[in-house]
Amino acid sequence: MAEAPQEEGGPVRFMRQHIALDYKVHVSPLAERFGEQLRGGQIVGSRCPQCGLVYVPTRAFCPMCTVAMGEGDETSLPDRGTVTSFTILTPIQYHGQKEREDYALASVLIDGADGTVGQQRITDVPLEEIRMGMRVEAVWAPEDERVSDPGDRGYGFGNALRGWRPTGEPDVPADAFAEHVL
C-alpha cells in the first residue's frame, strides 16, 4: 500500500480500509491423492493416454489433447531432476509476506517428466552457485511433517519437500533441456 504523505491537520487524503475475505478452497480429489502419495515419499505424474506426455503433479486432463486422465494414467517418478531456470529473489515486504532473506526459486525438470515443476526452493548451495543445468535431488521433510497443501506455491508439493539440493552430478548441457526453460 502506497503511503501517501498526510499533513498534520491537513485535508484527509487517504482512508485505510482493510477488507478481509475468507475463502475455503477444497482440496480436489486429485490433489488429495497426489498429496497422499507425496506423504508416502512418492512423486507421481500423469501420462496422457493420447500424446504420452507426462505431467507432474498429476492432472485430471491433458490440456494439450483435452483428454481426461485418471488413476490408470499415473506413473511414479524419481525424486531427482535438473534445474532448467531460476531466479534469486529479494522478497518484497507486503502484508502477509513471511519471507525475509534472499532466496532462489527454480523450475525443475524431474527425470521422466515432460513438464517442469515451478517455484521450487533450492537448498544446500550458495545462491551464486545455482545454475541452469544443475542436477538436483528432492530434500524430503520428515514423514510426520509432510503436509500437502495444493494451494501452496510449490506447485502442490507443499511441505512434503523442503526443496531440492545439488546431487553433485555433472551439469546437463543447455540444449538437452532447451525446451524446458519454464
Partner 1 sequence: MAERCAVVGVGQTHHAKVRDDVSLAGLLREAGQRALDDAEMTWTDIDAVVIGTAPDSFEGVMMPELYLADALGAAGKPIMRVHTAGSVGGSTAVVASHLVQSGVRKRVLTLAFEKQSEGDTTWALGGGRSGGVGAGGYFAPHIRAYIARSKAPEYVGWMVAVKDRKNALKNPYAHLKVPDIDLEMVRDSPMVWDPVRRLESCPASDGACAMVLTDEAGGDAASKKPAWVHGTAVRSELGQFPGRDPVNPRGGQDCAADVYRQAGISDPLEEVDVVECYVPFSWYEPMWMENLGFAPLGEGWKLTDDGETELGGKLPVNPSGGVLSSNPIGASGMLRFAEAAMQVRGTAGEHQVPGARTAVGHAYGGAAQYFAMWVLRDVKP
Partner 2 sequence: MARDVAIVSFAQSPSRHGVTETESQMLFPVIAEAIERSGIPRKEIGFTCSGSADYLAGASFAFVGNLEATGAWPPISESHVEMDGAWALYEAWVRLQHGDIDTALVFGSGISSRGDLREVLCLQNDPYYLMPLWADHVSLAALQARALLDAGTATEADLAEVAARSRRAATANPMAQVAGDVTAEAMAAEPYVVAPLRAGDCPPVSDGAAAMVLVAGDRARAVCERPAWIRGIDHRVEPHYPGVRDLTTSRSTRLAAEHVGVGDAPVEVAELSATFSHEELILRDALGLGDDVEVNPSGGALAANPFMATGLIRIGEAFRQINEQGRSRTLGHATSGPCLQQNLVCLLEGDR
- Closest distance of CB 88 from partner 1, Å: 4
Work out which of 65, 77, 105, 125 binds partner 2, going by CB under 8 A: 65
Q: Does 99 bind partner 1 (CB under 8 A)?
A: yes
Q: Does 60 bind partner 1 (CB under 8 A)?
A: no
**Segment 76-95, which members bind partner 1 (CB under 8 A)?**
85-92, 94-95
Which one, 60 or 176, has the nearer CB to partner 2? 60
CB-count exposure of residue 24 (10 Å: 0-12, 13-18, 19+): exposed
Q: Does 24 bind partner 1 (CB under 8 A)?
A: no
Alpha-carbon torsion angle 50, 56, 59, 64, nearest 10 = -40
Look up residue 81 and give its DSSP letter.
E
- Closest distance of CB 60 from partner 2, Å: 5
Look up residue 142 and give its DSSP letter.
P
Q: What is the C-alpha separation between 143 and 158, in angstroms, rounded?
A: 13
